[in-house]
Amino acid sequence: MRLSSGIWVLALLAACRSGEPGRQSGAAGAAAPNVVIVTASDFKFDAPAEVPAGLTTFRLANRGPSLHHIQLIKLAKGKTVDDLLAAFKNPGPPPSWMSVAGGPNPPEPGDTANATLSLEPGSYAMLCFVPTPDGVPHVMKGMIQPSRLNPSAGGDASAASPLSFTNVFTIAWSLAPAFCILPIFSRAGSE
């Protein structure tokens, strides 16, 4: 029993990482993601209208006095941002022709946030659901922008993506007075 406990302690200690927390390591030979820089202010985005599909990092710079985030919504073929806005004005569930693709969480005003996503080519809407003090989401005040993701020359959106840091758990040991921080990883875009 003592030997078995010692092996578990060694295995868990070996899983502890040293160095910079949150540092990401990708699969060997994996291509670097596209980087799209988006500036948010009250109530608009400054972002490119077209970007390459595939593994893409969205870097959101919040230049407004309030919180903003990016929620990317993939639109079905033939649907537009105007169709999405019209659907949001009607009560009921979201339309079946849209799907949530993800995006960076809201950074504090003056700060930045990143999200790396694996995105398929197609039409998207970039929007912000953060509410104003009167409860109206920013998207309903015009914080929505169409975005076209074009097939990328160098890769495909379904290619294996690098592991990304998503959560940290602290484990306390009963056998030794130590703490170990274990990073939990998931494939980018699977969150």
Q: What pLDDT does residue 172 have?
A: 27
User: Span 53-65, mean pLDDT?
Assistant: 96
H-helix segments, the chain? 2-15, 81-88
User: Span 149-172, mean pLDDT?
Assistant: 46
Residue 183 reports pLDDT greater than 80: no
H-helix segments, 20-60? none
Regarding pTM above 0.75, the answer is no
Write the pLDDT tens digit of every residue in 87-140. 999 989 999 999 999 999 999 999 999 999 999 999 999 999 999 999 999 999
Where do the domains of the chain lie, and which CATH numbers do they carry?
A: 32-159 (2.60.40.420), 160-191 (no CATH)
pLDDT, greater one: 119 or 189:
119
Residue 165 reports pLDDT greater than 50: no
Q: What pLDDT does residue 88 have?
A: 92
Supply angle C-alpha 104, 75, 185, rounded to 5.
Answer: 35
List the structure tokens of 9: 């302690």
Per-residue confidence at 171, pLDDT binned at 50, 70, 90? very low
**Sign of the dihedral defined by the CA atoms of residues 88, 92, 98, 99, in that order:** positive
Per-residue confidence at 31, pLDDT binned at 50, 70, 90? confident
pLDDT, greater one: 155 or 43:
43
Q: What pLDDT does residue 25 have?
A: 41
Q: What pLDDT does residue 14 have?
A: 35
Percent of the chain past pLDDT 70, that is, above it, reads: 64
Per-residue confidence at 30, pLDDT binned at 50, 70, 90? low
Q: What pLDDT does residue 54 have?
A: 95
Coil, helix or strand at residue 41: strand
Per-residue confidence at 36, pLDDT binned at 50, 70, 90? very high
